[in-house]
Amino acid sequence: MIAEENKLMSQKTFVPFTKIAVLGAGTMGSQIAAHLANAGARVLLLDIPASAKDEADKTQKISKNSIVDGAFKRMKSLKPDPLFTSSTASRIQTGNFDDDLSELANMDWVIEVVVERLDIKQSLLSRVERVIGSDTIVSTNTSGIPIAAIASGLSEDLKRRFLGTHFFNPPRYLPLMEVIPTQDTDPDVLERISAFARVFLGKGVVEAKDVPYFIGNRIGIFALLVSIEEGKRLGLTIAEVDTLTGPIVGRPRSGTYRTADVVGLDVMKSVIENLYAAIPDDESRKVFSTPPELDSLIEAGALGAKTRAGYYKKKDGVICSIDPTTNEYMPPSESTLSELPDIWSTGKLRDRLRALYASKSRSGDFFRSTLHRVLAYAARRIPEITEHPYRIDQAIRWGFAWELGPFQICDAIGYDVVCKGIEASGESMPTWFHDMTRAGHDGFYSPGQKPLEEGSAVSPPDVYSPRDVSYTLIRKQEDELGLASYTPGKAEKWLNENAQFRVSGDGVAVLEFRSKANTMGAGVLAAIQEAISLVEGDSDLRGLIIANEGNNFSVGANLAELATTLEAGQFDAVSDAVKTFQDTVQSVRYARKPVVVAVHQRVLGGATELVMSCPNPVAASESYLGLVELGVGLIPAGSGTMRLAKYAADRAPNLFPSEIQAVLAPLFEQVAMAKVSSSARNAQEMLYLSNHAPISMRADRRIYVAHQEVLRLSSHGYYPPVAGGDFMVGGKDTGAALNMMAYQYLQGGFMSEYDYELACAVSYVISGGSLNGPQKVTEQYILDLERETFMRLVGQKKTQDRITHLLQYNKPLRN
């Protein structure tokens, strides 16, 4: 599937959109503008002009931009943050339709995101057409209005440059963007928008037909309503339904009812009613009916999260859920689904899905019935909403954050097993499905099937197997991209139980580590050192990528190993382990061939130290880096503290201690407060990620980007950073100044007494230890201080309590 997503970029090189206008500054419009700014574009955000409502307003000379400026301000305060960094907002200019519409003449792309009313959209677009440039592309963001109807009043010329672009909320975090061409849309326009969205916005682009609610909402809303129906039929509580439609089946923690609360119950009702009206010929139309309790909640003003009451409401500090039979909020009761612990214990998602499907329990009944209904409905919508099953899977995964779409779930459980279950359930399946079964297909994603080409007109039953979903990291990210070859075999082996070493056809090696939670324990560290040795010792190998495809790159050092060693009283072994960690990180920095660490999602503690030391890292835009060791009573001792001290000396305008201290202070604060970056861009501002590091807006392109980075560095003639050399630290006076900063946090109630003691330990190391004054030191001098201080702290009871608490409860202890 990734091959299809990226094939456009391999065939053609499009000039990116650098000037984009967003018309409509509501919840979606302002966040779309924010994400366009995240990509680096200059954005013009326009909305209707404000007008004085009464004489009092007139005397105050209300700004015509007050509506758009207010929306812009609200967007900046949203959580999670729509912007990568606070400075990103400076790329957004606000204005109004009366004064600033003429600015559209300079825009590359104009996105209309006004209220969901056909007449308003058409009226605005007629004004837009009079001012835009001859090459400007125009798109509409709509959930359900037919794109052809919106375009009906446009000129033939603009119709060729017009299409639907349906972003999902929140645009920064949900990757799905449905592109909906009309019969008049120029294919080159569709290609350019799709390519830009994939590469520069990080979107998973799915081409949809111009039918009611396209693909994602048509199937996603059906799945939500079916879950509500089946939960009631089986007597499940609201909380139990959310449990059964949450992480246990690879979906978000919000499940079903919490998702409705987040969306807004009034919005949900509107979508359901509009869908019902728009699909008179849908055989399952009756499913799109508003649940009775939804109407009752809306009448009571309980609209979900925005009113702090919906299906859930916090009462006296307890999160209660509505009882649909009484419309009363009830405190949580003990779950009757006693089989779930056993389901969880089976292991990974595919194992859990198989166990749940086979379970002779209410949980199993619920899962089977909802899967059968959703899968059958999705199959019946082919070819109405799309020609291809995998596009439905993509839309549900990217738009609703499911780990697997319905057709993938079928294959994961077992195609034959689910087919028999559907037949027994009485759900009707389309002709193409029966043809596929008779033809002997063993799944929708059978291994070995030739990749489906972009734009293919092939219709069922020839498209059941567009991709082998069992491919591992290299195949997913190199071969599927269609942009790099992969020749398995040479030097392809497990270095140990935690890490696999592979080589692509053009000599780029990849070390994929797969330890529990991707922690960096002894096995991973040994594999990194061995992989570097293998690459350096083979003249056919051009460099190394260190990566994995876990939910997070790494949460840091293996605390379980540390706790076990401490419990055995083997403090010398702990010291040796810290030294090994330091040596491994330094070997990445000073490797004689390029080493690229490619990260994504959480990159914490020792993993951040690995990135800081890597001369040429690559990061997905949604990467969250932080030196968080103080949370477990320790300091960064894998070279992170040393690296910050050196950064301060290198970036200071001169070697005066006061100048070095000015650079060092905010870096010290980051460590003392265990701050984590909000994005890869923010990590660059925090100096956890180098400013020259390529950032991939699309997480699943990071390996390809890293691959190209290795090839570039190798082709240019790679020379590692020069080892050795000294740098200036401030000594005791700088340490005292940093301690005073920490003391202010203690006095303000932002730190505990032990947090303050730990912060002082950081200041001791980062300022050079017991040096009486400014002095130049070596990297090894600070590394030794890191290790000595780490060993002093690891023997403290409060530190050991913090480590134990985190391992037991997965939450930090601030003792």
pLDDT of residue 480: 36
Tens digit of each residue's pLDDT (9 = 90 or more) over 261-298: 998 999 999 999 999 999 999 999 999 999 999 999 99
Report in angstroms the alpha-carbon separations of 21 from 50, 176, 189, 194, 350: 19, 20, 17, 17, 43
Calculated CA dihedral for residues 285, 288, 292, 298, nearest 10 degrees: -150
pLDDT tens string 322-340:
998 888 899 988 888 999 9
- The whole-angstrom separation of Cα 361 and Cα 570 is 48
Residue 208 · residue 227 · CB < 8 Å: no
Is the bond into 49 cis (omega within 30 degrees of 0)? no
CB 363 within 8 A of CB 343: yes
DSSP assignment, residue 452? P
For residue 226, pLDDT beyond 80: yes
Strands of the sheet with 508-513, listed across from one edge? 493-496, 499-503, 508-513, 543-547, 595-604, 618-626, 695-696
Whether the Cβ atoms of residue 776 and residue 660 lie closer than 8 Å to each other: no
pLDDT digits (tens, 9 = 90+) for 35-88: 999 999 999 999 999 986 644 455 555 789 999 999 999 999 999 999 999 999
Q: Based on DSSP, count helices (H) and strands (E) in the chain, helices before strands.
A: 34, 20
Q: Which two tokens stand for residue 88?
A: 């990103």
Q: Which residue has the higher pLDDT, 58 or 807?
A: 807
Q: Are 213 and 143 in contact (CB under 8 A)?
A: yes
User: What confidence score (pLDDT) does residue 59 get?
Assistant: 52
Backbone angles phi, psi at 711, to 5 degrees: -65, -40
Question: To which residue do tokens 């009451």 refer?
Answer: 309
The span from the CA of 803 to the CA of 801, in Å, is 5
pTM greater than 0.85: yes
* DSSP-based three-state secondary structure for 615: coil
pLDDT at 468 over 90: no
Closest CA to 336 of 224, 225, 234: 234
Model pLDDT for residues 610-658, shown as the tens digit of each residue:
999 999 999 999 999 999 999 999 999 999 999 999 999 999 999 888 9
Mean pLDDT computed over 597-619: 97
Cis peptide before 694 (omega within 30 of 0): no
DSSP string, 748-764: TTSS-HHHHHHHHHHHH
Residue the block writes with tokens 């979606």? 28
Work out the pLDDT band at 486, boundaries 50, 70, 90.
Answer: very low
User: pLDDT by residue (tens digit) across 664-717?
Assistant: 999 999 999 999 999 999 999 999 999 999 999 999 899 999 999 999 999 999
- In sequence order, what are the residues at sequence separation of 6 or more whose Cβ sits closer than 8 angstroms to the Cβ of residue 15? none
Percentage, residues of the chain above pLDDT 90? 81
Residue 263's alpha-carbon distances to 266, 369, 714, in angstroms, are 9, 25, 49
Q: Biggest alpha carbon distance in the chain?
A: 83
